[in-house]
Amino acid sequence: MARARNYKTKVEGADELVKMFGLMQNEAEAILEEASEEGAKIVLNEAKSNVKVVSGKLRDSLDIKPEKSKKPTKKAHRVYSKGVRQGGVRYGVFVETGTSKMEAQPFLRPALDKNKGRIIRKVKETIVKGIDKAVR
């Protein structure tokens, strides 16, 4: 009858690894915030170059802002058109999606679709840099 053998595995540097994870936990929220913002900046810049310029008001009203979340590790930013109260315009959504009297002239969705790979790379790069900085 075969006997079960006990094997031991030792991870050298485990103490340092645990310390590193502890540091990352403290910095994770800020790292995710920055990564989200960096990805949104790519969409914002492309959307500004895509929008048909008549007066420039719509292009100039485009901005990014963080989404609110109850979870500290859930971070997202969105590109939006500032409203009139913030010095922007009301009609961004109508230009993007069209109306019964006006054909859509999308500028935001194409900005996202065109840059998906670039956004993913930038988010990953920002996270890696943030982790590297947090553990040093």
The model's pLDDT over 42-91, given as tens digits with 9 standing for 90+, comes to 999 999 999 988 899 999 999 999 888 787 667 889 898 988 878 789 89
pLDDT at 26 (0 to 100): 62
Domain ranges of the chain: 18-135
Give the N- to C-terminal CA distance of the chain in Å, as an integer.
52
This prediction's pTM = 0.77
pLDDT greater at residue 134 or residue 54: 54
Distance of alpha carbon 32 from alpha carbon 119, whole angstroms: 14
Q: How far apart are CA 96 and CA 7, in angstroms?
A: 62
Q: Assess whether pLDDT exceeds 80 at residue 93.
A: yes
Burial of 106 (0-12, 13-18, 19+ CB in 10 A): middle
